[in-house]
Amino acid sequence: MTAFLIILIAALFVIALWQISKIVQLGKTPEASTADGEIANDADNDRQGKYMLYFVIAMYIMMIACFIGYQDFFLPDAASAHGAEYDSLLLLTTVVIMVVQFLTQALLHWFSYKYRGKKGQKALFYADNDRLEFIWTAIPVVVLAGLILWGLFSWNDIMDVDKHEDPLVVELYAYQFGWKVRYSGADNTLGDANVRFIEGSNIIGIDPTDADGKDDMVATELHLPVNRPVVFNFRSQDVLHSAYMPHFRAQMNVVPGMVTKFSFTPTVTSEDYKSTEFMTKKVSKINEIRRQKSKELEAAGDVALDQYEFEYYLLCNKICGASHYNMQMKIVVESEEDYNEWLKTQTTFETTLANAKN
Ligand SMILES: [Cu+2]
C-alpha cells in the first residue's frame, strides 16, 4: 500500500511538472504559440461541445445509480418522537436541491453544447435584464427563507430540553475509548461530578460529598423506557467526542470541561425495531454475506463469523484517537417494566464506594 502511494505521488509530481512546463510554454512569445494546432478549430470546438453533453449525461447516470445502489445504506425510519419531522426536513431539502441542480446542470451543459464554437459565429452581446434578475433572485430568497425558517423552528423545538414533563435524567460520559452511562436514581437528579474526583472505583468522577450523587448508578449499557422523554447530559473525560445515535436522529458534541444537553423520546422498542420488514431483510442479507465469507474462512482454516443481530448503538462521531472506530455502547429501548427490572440490577454509587472500602 505504501509503495503504491509513493508511486502515485511520484506520478502526480511528474504530471504537475509537465503541466507547469506547458504553462511556461504558453506564456512565451505570442508568435510561438499561434503555430498550427495551438488554436482551437471547428473540429476541436465540436468535440469539446459534445464532451460537455456526455459529461452531464454520465453524471446523471452515476447519480441515479448511486441512489439505487446505495439504498441499503439509508437510515431506516426514525425511532424517536422528533425523528419524523427531522426526516421530512431533510427530504424536502434534498428534493429542492435535486430539482434545482437537475435543471441548472442540464441547461448549463446543453447550452455549452448547442452554442459550441463555429467559425464566423459571434456571441450576442446582452448587457442585462432587470426582470430576469428579479426572478432569479426572488425565487431562491423565498425558497431559502422558507427552508431556514422551518429548520429554525424545528431546531428550537428539538433543542428545548426543558419542554418535557418528568423526563428521565441520564448522563452520558465519554472517554478514550468508550462510554459510561449514569442514571440519576430515585431522586432523578444527577450528583455533581468533575474529572478531578476520579479515584479508584469512582471511575467517572462523581462528587462523593454530594447527597444527590449517592443513588446515582453507573452502567455500561444504555437502557431506556419506551415513550418517556430522556434528557441527556454529556460529559467528556479527555478530548472532544460526539454522541451519535443515528436511529434516534440525535447527535451532540461531548466537550471536556462543560456539560452539553440533548433530549429525545424513544418511540420504538429494540424488539419492535428488529422485527420491522426493513430490518429483517437487512439482517438476513448481512447474514447471507457472512455465511459466504465464513465458508471461505473455514476453508482457509480460520474461525467462522458470528451471526449478526441488530441493536441500537450510541457511537462516537468525532475522530478522537486510535480506537475511535470502536467507541460504542449498546442501547436497549424496552417497556417501563423491563427497564425497572434492569435498573434494580444496577449498583448505586454509595454501594460502589462502600464495597471498595471493604
Ligand atoms: Cu470519541
DSSP 236-289: ESSS-EEEEEGGGTEEEEE-BTS-EEEEE-B-S-HHHHHTSHHHHHHHHHHHHH
Please count the CA atoms within 13 angstroms of the CA of 194 that sit on its side-chain side.
7
How far apart are the CA of 331 and the centre of ligand 1, in A?
17
**For range 146-162, the mean pLDDT:** 89
How far apart are the CA of 179 and the centre of ligand 1, in A?
9
Q: Output the pLDDT for position 331.
A: 95
How far apart are the CA of 133 and the centre of ligand 1, in A?
48
Least confident segment among 5-14, 37-46, 251-260: 37-46
Q: Which burial class, exposed, middle or buried, applies to 178 when counting CB atoms under 10 A from its CB (0-12, 13-18, 19+)?
A: middle
Give pLDDT tens digits for 192-222.
Answer: 888 888 888 888 888 888 888 888 888 999 9
Give pLDDT tens digits for 178-197.
Answer: 999 999 888 888 888 888 88
Q: Output the pLDDT for position 242.
A: 95
Cell numbers 434534498 correspond to what residue?
94
> Rounded CA gap, 151 and 60, in Å?
29
How far apart are the CA of 234 and the centre of ligand 1, in A?
12
> Rounded CA gap, 123 and 154, in Å?
48
How far apart are the CA of 324 and the centre of ligand 1, in A?
5
> Rounded CA gap, 309 and 279, in Å?
10
Q: Give the whole-number percent of the chain exceeding pLDDT 90.
A: 61
Cβ(196)–Cβ(173) below 8 Å:
no
How far apart are the CA of 230 and the centre of ligand 1, in A?
22
Please count the CA atoms within 13 angstroms of the CA of 315 that sit on its side-chain side.
16
> Rounded CA gap, 273 and 265, in Å?
15
**For range 52-57, the mean pLDDT:** 94
At 144, the pLDDT band (50, 70, 90 cuts) reads very high
How far apart are the CA of 328 and the centre of ligand 1, in A?
9
Give pLDDT tens digits for 69-88.
Answer: 998 888 899 999 999 999 99
Least confident segment among 89-93, 215-219, 265-269, 284-288: 215-219
Q: Output the pLDDT for position 31.
A: 59
How far apart are the CA of 249 and the centre of ligand 1, in A?
18
How far apart are the CA of 183 and the centre of ligand 1, in A?
21
**Is the torsion defined by CA of 210, 214, 220, 221 positive or negative?**
negative
**For range 89-114, the mean pLDDT:** 92
How far apart are the CA of 55 and the centre of ligand 1, in A?
41
Cell representation of residue 14: 511528474
Q: Give the closest residue to 193 by CA, choosing from 253, 257, 137.
A: 257
Give pLDDT tens digits for 276-302.
Answer: 998 999 999 999 999 999 999 988 888
How far apart are the CA of 243 and the centre of ligand 1, in A?
8
How far apart are the CA of 197 and the centre of ligand 1, in A?
21
How far apart are the CA of 86 and the centre of ligand 1, in A?
24
How far apart are the CA of 173 and the centre of ligand 1, in A?
10
Q: When comparing pLDDT for 316 and 121, which is higher?
A: 316
When the pLDDT of each residue in the chain is averaged and rounded to a whole number, the result is 89
Q: Output the pLDDT for position 36.
A: 60
Write the CB contacts of 216 (distance below 8 Å, at least 6 apart in sequence): 182, 183, 184, 185, 190, 191, 206, 348, 349
Q: Output the pLDDT for position 34.
A: 53
Cell numbers 448505586 correspond to what residue?
348
**For range 267-271, the mean pLDDT:** 93
Is residue 37 over pLDDT 70? no
Q: Output the pLDDT for position 181.
A: 94
How far apart are the CA of 244 and the centre of ligand 1, in A?
10
Give pLDDT tens digits for 9-36.
Answer: 999 999 999 999 888 888 776 655 455 6
How far apart are the CA of 309 and the centre of ligand 1, in A?
24
